[in-house]
Amino acid sequence: MMNSRRTLLIAAGAWALPAARAELPSLRIGFQKGSLNLALLKSLNLLDRHLPGTKVSWAEFPAGPQLLEALAVGSVDFGATGDSPPVFAQSAGKDLFYVGAEPPKPDASAVLVKPDASIRALSDLKGKRVALQKGSSAHYLAVQAVKKGGLQWADIQPVYLPPADARAAFEKGAVDAWAIWDPYYAAAEIAGNVRVLATSRGLTGNNTFYLAGRALAGHEPTLRTLFAALTETDAHVQADRKDTAQRFADFAGLGLATVHRFLERRQPSPVGPLTQALIAEQQKVADTFAQLGLIPKPIHVADIVWLPGQALALSR
């Protein structure tokens, strides 16, 4: 299955663990159904070894906006979301920081319609009801899909629903299309009765970001350790898909066929600090939402990006 932990970390390009570190007494991690690295990190109990002096607790959220609200009020310390939730959080003045990221996953989200729908092209979304989680990565996907279809945002009827409610609305015909991410996308595909109108490829990078509250963002040794543990987890994902699929199916309550479809679209995803290219790409997301008036004011993403060796701003 896996060789030594050291070999896997080097192969995956992980940060080296610090020779000595002062551990936090507790760490509260927020995750979503699609947070594969975090879900497997929990299942494999790797933090017991990486952070032996830290009491770790976990909390699940239906989507990124709810997770970041909990992060902002101090209910959790660390979590992962797509591209849009941090933009909405920053525009609302939430006290949180980007601390890490995974590589893009451009095939892991899609706009779905029914097989017999009259919607054959993105331009056909005009006047249609599109279900999506407000402030989620699906929100930006929908915005970009509408733009590619030659439409204005005002040309569609967004219906803001969390994933489970959106699927129910889609299946009973209460909405015409559904913008969604994996594993909900994979589950809908495997269940059948959907047609992919467009994936996020060419529309968004579908990036995954790790965010932290101020206390954790100011504690570099723990962040470095978390990145190493998450990258070790991803190495396990790549080395043993069978074990990964079973663990994730048990965690998420999904069928193995759904999980394997989800994994097919996932490339190696080591975790590390944000690159300048990712920051620039995220700024485009923020600018798009600001131009459409979907966030209250323009923001500068780099203001809340933590980088190694960087002191945090004292005020926001």
Best-predicted range by mean pLDDT among 31-35, 47-51, 231-235? Answer: 231-235
pLDDT of residue 201: 96
pLDDT digits (tens, 9 = 90+) for 123-142: 999 999 999 999 999 999 99
Is residue 287's pLDDT more than 90?
A: yes
- For the cut 70, the answer to whether the pLDDT of residue 173 exceeds it is yes
Greater pLDDT, 15 or 172: 172
What is the rounded average pLDDT for all residues in the chain? 91
Q: Kindly state the DSSP code that residue 175 receives in the 8-state scheme.
A: S
Please give the helix or strand (H or E) that residue 179 lies within, else none: strand 177-181
State the residue for tokens 């906006």: 65
What structural domains and CATH numbers belong to the chain?
5-105+207-304 (3.40.190.10), 109-199 (3.40.190.10)
Predicted local distance difference test score (pLDDT) of residue 246: 96
Binned at pLDDT 50, 70 and 90, residue 45 comes out as very high
Kindly state the average pLDDT of the residues 269-290: 96
Virtual torsion, Cα 134, 89, 200, 183, nearest 10 deg: -70
Q: How many Å apart are CA 302 and CA 22, to the nearest integer? A: 27
Q: Which residue has the higher pLDDT, 19 or 282?
A: 282
Q: What is the pLDDT of residue 1?
A: 38
- Give me the pLDDT at residue 313, please: 63
Q: What percent of the chain has pLDDT over 70?
A: 91
- The mean per-residue pLDDT over the stretch 210-226 comes to 94
Give the separation between CA 86 and CA 101, rounded to whole angstroms.
12
Q: What is the mean pLDDT of residues 184-211?
A: 96
Average pLDDT for residues 53-73, to the nearest whole number? 94
pLDDT bin (cut points 50, 70, 90) of residue 196 is very high
Write down the pLDDT at residue 18.
42
Calculate mean pLDDT across residues 16-35: 74
Per-residue model confidence as pLDDT tens digits over 144-154: 999 999 999 99
* 80 vs 11, higher pLDDT: 80
pTM for the whole structure: 0.89
More confident call, 309 vs 156:
156
State the DSSP H helix or E strand holding residue 188, giving kind and residue range, or none if neither. Answer: helix 184-191
Q: Packing angle between helix 241-252 and helix 220-239, nearest 10 degrees?
A: 110
Report percent pLDDT > 90 for the chain. 86
Q: How far is CA 245 from CA 173, 236, 239, 262, in A?
A: 31, 11, 12, 9
